[in-house]
Structure 1
Amino acid sequence: MRNEDLRESFVVGELMQDGVLAMTLSDIDRGIIGSAVPTGEILAFGSFEELGGGAFTSRREVGVINIGAPGSITVGDESFAMNRLDSLYIGRGDHSVSFKSDDPADPARFYFVSYPAHASYPHKRVTQAEAHRIDLGEGKTCNERTIFQSLRPGIVESCQLVMGFTCIAEGSVWNTFPPHTHDRRSEFYFYFDLDDDARVFHFMGKPDELKALAMSNEEAALSPSWSMHCGVGSGAYSFIWSMGGENQEFDDMDHVKQAALA
């Protein structure tokens, strides 16, 4: 694949547009990536023919993380206040779902991922402080980072969705290395907190067919279950990771030896 073919197949752009609810349906586990930035009117899920009609959540679960200013999400008759880096799990059901900013001039910036769901579980908000925190890496290998597991077993019950975010420390650039695969689930990466001229080089593909995607701020990379993945930035950055598939165990991965990369 040429660069434009890779981007067309594995990169989701045009996210976080002011006043817009945007979404992309992928054929990778039928996952959906989207965003909502309410700058005036409240933004809400509609009914989509591609999903069989009815409420967006009729047969789906959704994970949302706010990377902007304070806002709120209303699910049915429940309202959840969402500060920066708060997460919300929305369970399957015929719910109305809408997004609102506390101050439309300084809007919330909601990123969401959705997968098909076979059962209904309770909605739940998880603050950054309530997420499971893991500090990894070290400065000498340029991969010092903090992982926040917010929507995961033990915190939130879900069908297949697990979700959280990782913050790279100043002076570090790698989000994980050596890379790894996990054949039992796909993963989506959403990069944020990058300067306009900064880039993250997201590596994917088979170990002996390494490909690189140059990712800008607030773009998402789709990682199929067969693809290894890791990334390195031109400076510190953050990213939201989300996974769906057969296994929800975070450590269920197969590491790729550096010598196998080509």
Structure 2
Amino acid sequence: MIEVRYGAGPEKIGQLSTEELRSTFLIENVFPKDEARLVYTHIDRMILGGCSPVTSTVEIGDGTAIGTPHLLSYREMGIANLGGPGRIEADDQSFDLANRDVLYVGRGTKRLRMQSADPNNPACFYMTSVPSQVDIPNRLITKGQSKLLELGEERRANKRSLRMYIHPQVAPSALLLMGITDLAHGSVWNTMPPHLHERRMEAYVYFDMEAEDRVVHLMGRPDETRHLMVANGDAILSPAWSIHMGAGTGPYAFVWSMTGENQEYTDVDPVPVSTLR
């Protein structure tokens, strides 16, 4: 089964209660043990989810829920390993993923099998998939092969390292972009300054957090912001009309994935912090 989320427009944001806001835009517990959790959002038809294979292999591939022979009959997928070493079998190919490695899976793949190398240090596989109309070969992108960008300032508590994995400058795709951002020691703010990108939606999963910590994720239109309290292993759906920024009560990292009209990472509309309400 695949859970379905329909999203909401900006005119509804002020009418949602805390629980309604969470059930619309927040996906909790993305990494269940020994099974996959997948969520289909009508926001640009992205599928996201994850699994943590501990004692058994997790297999996905059936496309019945989305009306296709296989899950990836007409889709591409990015899979980031956020845990211990693991292996992914994509049909007749096998890939070994270390922590912070990403696997690009091309359209037409029939079956994915995921397992951990050590049940005492299980892999955590985070998946995002979007429609694709081109055939691109599967490819493993290691952390060392990603493109590193250093962003932010220590004095503004937003210094961070952003690594591009699935991106035209690193590994090609149809429309999927995927990367990982780590906050520098002592920094708390991500995605600063805030911005909109009307031509792309985005999804995040927050990880490497202590159980008691939270990220205060801000969303909504610039003149009507709302917040979500996000725990370790929770994911956020961010529509194109919404800002996205956050601050953590402790160290954290996140995976970002995007899809939409283009793959221009800099195609954004900045929003001055002073104008937020």
Matched residues in 2 for 1:223 and 1:121: separation?
A: 26
* Alignment counterpart, residue 161 of structure 1, candidates 176, 186, 190: 176
* Alignment counterpart, residue 192 of structure 2, candidates 177, 183, 190: 177
Matched residues in 1 for 2:30 and 2:165: separation?
A: 22
Q: Does 1:187 align with 2:202?
A: yes
Query: Contact 1:42–1:99 (CA<8 Å) still a contact in 2?
Result: yes
Matched residues in 1 for 2:109 and 2:194: separation?
A: 39
Query: Contact 1:172–1:235 (CA<8 Å) still a contact in 2?
Result: no
Equivalent in the alignment of 2:93: 78
Q: Deviations over 1:173-209 (max 9, x none)?
A: 0012221000111000110011111010111100010
Matched residues in 2 for 1:46 and 1:160: separation?
A: 20
Q: Give, as a single letter, the amino acid of the residue that structure 2 aligns with 1:78.
A: Q
Between Structure 1 and Structure 2, how many residues are aligned?
262
Q: Percent of aligned positions with the same letter in both sequences?
A: 40
Q: Deviations over 1:80-104 (max 9, x none)?
A: 1100000010000142111011122
Q: Give, as a single letter, the amino acid of the residue that structure 1 aligns with 2:42.
A: D
Q: Does 1:128 align with 2:143?
A: yes
Structure 1 spans left out of the alignment, 5+ residues: none
Alignment TM-score, normalising by the size of structure 2: 0.92
Matched residues in 1 for 2:162 and 2:109: separation?
A: 33
Alignment TM-score, normalising by the size of structure 1: 0.97
Q: Give, as a single letter, the amino acid of the residue that structure 1 aligns with 2:220.
A: G
Matched residues in 2 for 1:101 and 1:176: separation?
A: 32
Equivalent in the alignment of 1:215: 230
How far did residue 261 of structure 1 move?
0.6
Q: Which is worse superposed, 93-102 or 206-215?
A: 93-102
Q: Does 1:108 align with 2:123?
A: yes
Structure 2 spans left out of the alignment, 5+ residues: 1-15
Equivalent in the alignment of 1:89: 104
Equivalent in the alignment of 2:44: 29
3-state SS, counterpart of residue 73 of structure 2: coil
How far did residue 65 of structure 1 move?
0.4
* Alignment counterpart, residue 51 of structure 1, candidates 51, 63, 66: 66
* Alignment counterpart, residue 113 of structure 2, candidates 83, 92, 98: 98
Query: Contact 2:157–2:189 (CA<8 Å) still a contact in 1?
Result: yes
Query: Contact 1:73–1:100 (CA<8 Å) still a contact in 2?
Result: yes
3-state SS, counterpart of residue 224 of structure 2: coil
